[in-house]
A = this chain, B = another copy of it.
Amino acid sequence: MTHTADITRPPRHLVDGLLKIGAATASATLAHMGIRCAFMTGPVAWTRGRAVAGPALTLHCLPKREDLYGEGEYKDPEKQLHRHVLYHVQEGDIVVVDARGDMRSGIFGEMMMTYFKGRRGGGVVIDGCVRDWPNLRDLGVPLWVRGVTPNFHTQTDIMPVAVNVPIACGGVTVIPGDIIVADDDGAVCVPVALAAACIEKAHRDHGWEDFSREMLEQGGDLRRYYPLSDAARPEYEAWCAQRGRKP
C-alpha cells in the first residue's frame, strides 16, 4: 500500500500573523531579511478576492514515462499520488503542486476539489492548471494557478511522483510545512523558521502606513509621508496617541 509522509504544522499564531500582513508585505519583508524572491512567478489568483495562509503540503510531478505511468485515469487509483496529497489535508492546509508549468494537464478537477473542500482545505497553488473550471467556479476553493484545461492530470506530459518532499513551484523552493501566504498579488512561500521574525519586522517597518495613506489622500507630500520622514514622525506619534495606537 502506498504510504506518504505527513507534515509538521506551524503554530496557529504564525499562520494568522502572516495572513494579516498579506503577500506584498511578506515578500518585501523577507527580501529585507535576505530572501530575494519568495514569490512564486507563474500561478496567479484565479479566484479573485480570496486571501489565505497555511502550511504547505507538496506534490512533485516529473515528465511522464510510459513504463512507469502508462495506465488510464481510473486504474488502481490508490497509486495516483495526487490523491494522496489530499488525504493529508487538514483545516487550512495549502496544497502546493510543482506541475512544471504544464498548460495541458489539469491536476485536480471538480471531484477532487469537492473532497478537498469537504476536508476544509485552505487553498491550492499549482504551477500548472486545474480542470472542470465550469464546475469548480461555483465550489469556491481558493486557487492560484496558471490556467485551466479540459485535460486530466496524466493525460499528456507529466505524472505525480512524490508527496511532501521539497519542490520548486513558480521558481521558488517550497519545503513541506513552510507557510504559504496568497492573495490577489499572488502566492508567497515563507520559510517556517523565518515566520516569526518576518511578522515582527513587518509590523516594525510598516506600522506608520495607515497614517501615511491618510496624509497622501489629503494631498500630502510624498517626500514627507512615504516613507515616513523623520520630520513627520512627531506628527505620526501624535496621530497614534490620539487613536490609542502604539507607534
Q: Which B residues touch A161, using CB under 8 A?
A: 166, 173
Q: Which chain B positions have C-beta within 8 A of A185?
A: 106, 131-134, 148-150
Instruction: Report the stretch among A9-17, A65-73, A236-244 that lies at the interface.
Output: A65-73
Q: Contacts of A110 on B, CB cut-off 8 Å?
A: 213
Interface 1/0 per residue, A158-188 and B, CB below 8 Å: 0101000011100111010000000111101
Q: How many residues of A contact B (CB 8 A)?
A: 86
Q: Which residues of B contact A26 (CB under 8 A)?
A: 150
Contact of A173 (CB < 8 Å), options: B62, B73, B134: B62
Known contacts A65-B35, A183-B134, A217-B114; A27 and B166 CB within 8 A of each other: no
Tell me whether A67 and B115 are in contact (CB under 8 A): no
A22 contact from B83, B134, B212, Cβ within 8 A: B134
Cβ contacts under 8 Å, A118 to chain B: 216-217, 219
Q: Which residues of B contact A223 (CB under 8 A)?
A: 77-78
0 or 1 for each of A22-35: is its CB under 8 Å from B? (1 = yes): 11111110011011
Residues of A that sit less than 8 Å from B by CB: 22-28, 31-32, 34-37, 39, 41, 44, 51, 62-68, 70, 72-74, 77-78, 83, 86-87, 100, 103-104, 106, 109-112, 114-115, 118, 131-134, 137, 147-152, 155-157, 159, 161, 166-168, 171-173, 175, 183-186, 188, 191, 193-194, 205, 209, 212-213, 216-217, 219, 222-223, 226-227
Q: Please list 18 pairs of residues, one from A and one from B, whose beta carbons are closer than 8 Å in the complex, sorted by A's number.
A: A24-B134, A24-B150, A25-B150, A28-B73, A28-B150, A31-B73, A31-B152, A31-B155, A32-B72, A32-B73, A62-B166, A62-B168, A111-B226, A112-B222, A115-B226, A133-B184, A148-B185, A149-B186
